[in-house]
A = this chain, B = another copy of it.
């Protein structure tokens, strides 16, 4: 049995390659990889396998994998669907470390195809040989000239090496963003497409990618994930190593999700949960492909700012205002220049607006020393994390371009760690010349502001990971059967996990509810206690407010009568008597089992916030208290917890602890629990904690 990790390394950085189904026609699927390997200068051994030919594209061909003079690290299989399984088996027999399967027509097509794909997976599992695909476009690593792909975008021009990695389930998408990156002069170091993922999936590819020292940022694409733990681990490793992940996750719409399920075998899961996991682990979710490129471009140097202040230099007031709008939307702080510096700038040019945006007006175009002074003043005295200059099509003008570059270089001498960015609409060679001097160059100001906001986001996310000191400790699993669990028992279990409940009494049938109520203190709430009645109010199983023993007894009798009438079949444990808790802010918390991410904690405010506005948020369990704090602040109704209409601030610390405890319990008991509901939970005044008034645990069927 091969070592699977070693075999993965062999797949993605092989020393020798066999191409099964090698074709002499360099345009065919079986011909392209060979051509690319040769044109790309791959230095390892390459063995074409084709029983019908002696040579392929000038290289000696072999009749079969078995006939090869050495065992290759990787076999690329460019064979028809009908021959794929045999080829995979031949590779495993020869102890090839990994195979890439281009061929389509398996799990994505029909049940027969799925069955064959499952057999491939079985061979991989047994032998330790790693499989990429089927139905994938393969891999490439530009620095080594390793092209295990037939992607047509490499026809005519390769993609330069660079600090960007690509991991994509879709070969077409992966090819397209690589093409767009090339257009933009952005080099790609490593590129992996995973297709049907019968073995290597997007999680494992992502993990490998973020561990590469020459990769600073990964552009990823997925429709769903197969292995939650591996995926989350990859995101954690990325964050720890300060590798930015910019993700295009599709299937967020109803029709899109439907298309995902018909397109691949990936578990779609809830898109809202994906979104939450991305926030949780600091992944930047791109809304558009253009944004994915823009953000990856900004991250490609691996430089992130200490803060979020931005100085905007412009020659046109209008552009400056537009950029200030976009900056604010992106969470950047367009902080004013120091008063004294403003006065100096104004003295140089009375027309100017020296605050920030600093508008030197078109005047600066004809007075370049003035522009130099302005830009230098911003860098020396503004103390900005980011500087951006808006230049439109100016840099494309032959008369202006050279002088502008001189101005910026001279002024930049004053920059100490400021991230320098420019907007311009100019031919690639001009853009490249600024990039070589260390400037980020975007054509569109809005896109630039969004990308700078992403840099701030990544810096914060990396720092949060450091502050978190590693893994969230797991809770102890508890014994959960498959039977329905009553409210009292659910509260007992969750209480042991740290969730606060009011002191309450379980009064068995025949016992005195009045005395129990007196012991708790009036007024009370009396509820039916039955594992079979999950929705108590529907049968009138809750009476709120008994003020003395007699009322409590009457309530108990009435509830038992209602239960007997509406649910004669139900097992009755008795009655729960609890104190009435008023005040505080009503919230709800819960746990659901997401098809992709397993136990997920949900949080929202009660009432209209959840019912009308669907104002809820999620986190994959487990997570720590700091993460819970961020979660709580994501809901739109968060100001309710800070106190509105004269109400005191609620105990958000207690809420964050509770959500984290709930998440640790949910993670430890994922195998036994389908869902948990805490509804309502009353978050009391700061310092007074919270109480969950009801609890429901649904065991896994």
Residues in chain A within 8 A of chain B (CB atoms): 104-105, 108-110, 152-153, 155, 168-173, 175-176, 179-180, 183, 221, 223, 248, 250-256, 258-260, 262-264, 287-290, 315-322, 324-329, 334, 350-351, 353, 355-357, 359, 361-362, 392-393, 397, 425, 444-447, 608-609, 611-613, 636-637, 639-640, 644-645
Given A263-B318, A425-B183, A612-B644, the answer on whether A397 and B253 have CB atoms closer than 8 Å is no
Find the B residue at minimum CB distance from A393: B179
Chain B residue numbers with a CB within 8 Å of A446 are 287-290
- Give the CA-CA distance A612 to B637 in the complex, in Å: 7
Contact, CB under 8 Å: B319 / A172: yes
Chain B residue numbers with a CB within 8 Å of A392 are 172, 175-176, 179
Contact, CB under 8 Å: B152 / A324: no
A-B pairs with beta carbons under 8 Å apart, 24 shown: A104-B361, A108-B317, A109-B350, A170-B318, A172-B319, A172-B362, A175-B392, A179-B392, A180-B425, A250-B318, A250-B322, A250-B325, A253-B324, A253-B329, A255-B334, A256-B321, A259-B317, A259-B359, A263-B318, A288-B446, A288-B447, A289-B322, A611-B645, A613-B613
- Give the CA-CA distance A109 to B346 in the complex, in Å: 11
Chain B residue numbers with a CB within 8 Å of A262 are 353, 355
- Give the CA-CA distance A105 to B608 in the complex, in Å: 55
Find the B residue at minimum CB distance from A322: B250
Given A250-B325, A645-B611, the answer on whether A444 and B153 have CB atoms closer than 8 Å is no
- Give the CA-CA distance A253 to B446 in the complex, in Å: 13
Chain B residue numbers with a CB within 8 Å of A264 are 317
Chain B residue numbers with a CB within 8 Å of A319 are 170, 172-173, 176
- Give the CA-CA distance A362 to B259 in the complex, in Å: 17
Find the B residue at minimum CB distance from A323: B256
Contact, CB under 8 Å: B172 / A263: no
Chain B residue numbers with a CB within 8 Å of A109 are 350-351
8 Å CB contact of A321 from B180, B250, B356, B425: B250
Contact, CB under 8 Å: A169 / B318: yes
- Give the CA-CA distance A683 to B6 in the complex, in Å: 70
- Give the CA-CA distance A328 to B288 in the complex, in Å: 14
Find the B residue at minimum CB distance from A392: B176
Chain B residue numbers with a CB within 8 Å of A320 are 259, 263
8 Å CB contact of A105 from B104, B171, B351: B351
Find the B residue at minimum CB distance from A352: B109
Chain B residue numbers with a CB within 8 Å of A290 are 290, 444, 446-447
Given A155-B397, A351-B108, A612-B639, the answer on whether A221 and B318 have CB atoms closer than 8 Å is yes
Contact, CB under 8 Å: A260 / B447: no
Chain B residue numbers with a CB within 8 Å of A445 are 289
Contact, CB under 8 Å: B350 / A110: yes
Contact, CB under 8 Å: A611 / B322: no
Given A176-B393, A444-B288, the answer on whether A263 and B334 have CB atoms closer than 8 Å is no
Chain B residue numbers with a CB within 8 Å of A175 are 392-393
Given A253-B324, A288-B446, A351-B104, the answer on whether A263 and B359 have CB atoms closer than 8 Å is yes
Contact, CB under 8 Å: B362 / A223: no
- Give the CA-CA distance A109 to B110 in the complex, in Å: 72
**Nearest chain B CB to A286's CB is how many angstroms away?**
10
Contact, CB under 8 Å: A176 / B425: yes
- Give the CA-CA distance A287 to B104 in the complex, in Å: 41
Contact, CB under 8 Å: A253 / B613: no
Contact, CB under 8 Å: B640 / A608: yes
**Nearest chain B CB to A288's CB is how many angstroms away?**
4
Chain B residue numbers with a CB within 8 Å of A397 are 152, 155
**Nearest chain B CB to A7's CB is how many angstroms away?**
27
**Nearest chain B CB to A177's CB is how many angstroms away?**
10
**Nearest chain B CB to A290's CB is how many angstroms away?**
5
- Give the CA-CA distance A425 to B175 in the complex, in Å: 12
- Give the CA-CA distance A488 to B264 in the complex, in Å: 68
Contact, CB under 8 Å: B318 / A173: yes
Interface centre among A173, A259, A260, A350, by most B CB within 10 Å?
Answer: A259
Q: Knowing that A152-B397, A259-B321 are A-B contacts, what are 6 other residue pairs whose CB atoms are under 8 Å apart, sorted by A's residue number?
A: A170-B317, A250-B322, A259-B355, A263-B359, A608-B637, A612-B644
**Nearest chain B CB to A194's CB is how many angstroms away?**
12
Given A172-B315, A175-B392, A176-B392, the answer on whether A324 and B289 have CB atoms closer than 8 Å is no
Find the B residue at minimum CB distance from A179: B393
- Give the CA-CA distance A173 to B256 in the complex, in Å: 37
Given A317-B264, A322-B173, the answer on whether A637 and B613 have CB atoms closer than 8 Å is yes
Chain B residue numbers with a CB within 8 Å of A350 are 109-110
- Give the CA-CA distance A251 to B323 in the complex, in Å: 9
**Nearest chain B CB to A19's CB is how many angstroms away?**
20
- Give the CA-CA distance A221 to B392 in the complex, in Å: 16
**Nearest chain B CB to A564's CB is how many angstroms away?**
26
Given A104-B361, A447-B290, the answer on whether A255 and B176 have CB atoms closer than 8 Å is no
Chain B residue numbers with a CB within 8 Å of A315 are 172
8 Å CB contact of A325 from B152, B180, B253, B444: B253
Contact, CB under 8 Å: A644 / B359: no
Find the B residue at minimum CB distance from A363: B104
Chain B residue numbers with a CB within 8 Å of A173 are 316, 318-319, 322
Contact, CB under 8 Å: A289 / B444: yes
- Give the CA-CA distance A630 to B110 in the complex, in Å: 47
**Nearest chain B CB to A690's CB is how many angstroms away?**
19
Contact, CB under 8 Å: B318 / A172: yes
- Give the CA-CA distance A636 to B609 in the complex, in Å: 11
Find the B residue at minimum CB distance from A271: B325
**Nearest chain B CB to A72's CB is how many angstroms away?**
27
Find the B residue at minimum CB distance from A169: B318
Find the B residue at minimum CB distance from A288: B446
Chain B residue numbers with a CB within 8 Å of A644 are 608, 611-612
- Give the CA-CA distance A169 to B263 in the complex, in Å: 49
Find the B residue at minimum CB distance from A449: B288
Contact, CB under 8 Å: A317 / B263: yes
Find the B residue at minimum CB distance from A221: B318
Interface centre among A179, A183, A325, by most B CB within 10 Å?
Answer: A325
Given A351-B105, A393-B176, the answer on whether A318 and B288 have CB atoms closer than 8 Å is no
Chain B residue numbers with a CB within 8 Å of A612 are 637, 639-640, 644
**Nearest chain B CB to A513's CB is how many angstroms away?**
29
**Nearest chain B CB to A447's CB is how many angstroms away?**
7
Chain B residue numbers with a CB within 8 Å of A317 are 108, 170, 259, 263-264
